[in-house]
Amino acid sequence: MRTTIDLTDQVFRELKALAAMKGMSMKEIIQKAVQDELANANRADVVRDRIKFPILESKEPGTLHLTNAEIDDLLT
């Protein structure tokens, strides 16, 4: 699929130089950068969604009994 991107002159020059140094086309550099970014974003989502329980360690687990109203009072 084709798309158009707007780059500043400075970014374009740096991209062109990097592609030349690596012996790659600018298209290849951009495609790899986007693929890497997507892979990192997917990994970050997975890690961010993981929660380890218990969130707070207790010296006496199971001894605290709170009603919903008491919990609400603590959170506000």
Q: Which alpha helices (H) appear in 1-76, and where do they start and end?
A: 9-22, 26-49, 68-75
Single pTM value for the model:
0.54
Question: Over its length of 76 residues, how does the chain's per-residue pLDDT go in tens digits?
Answer: 899 999 999 999 999 999 999 999 999 999 999 999 888 877 755 556 677 776 767 778 778 788 888 888 888 8
Residues 6+ apart with CB under 8 A from 74: 66
The residue whose two tokens read 């600018």 is 26
Q: Please report, for the chain, the start and end positions of each structural domain, with discontinuous segments joined by +.
A: 25-55
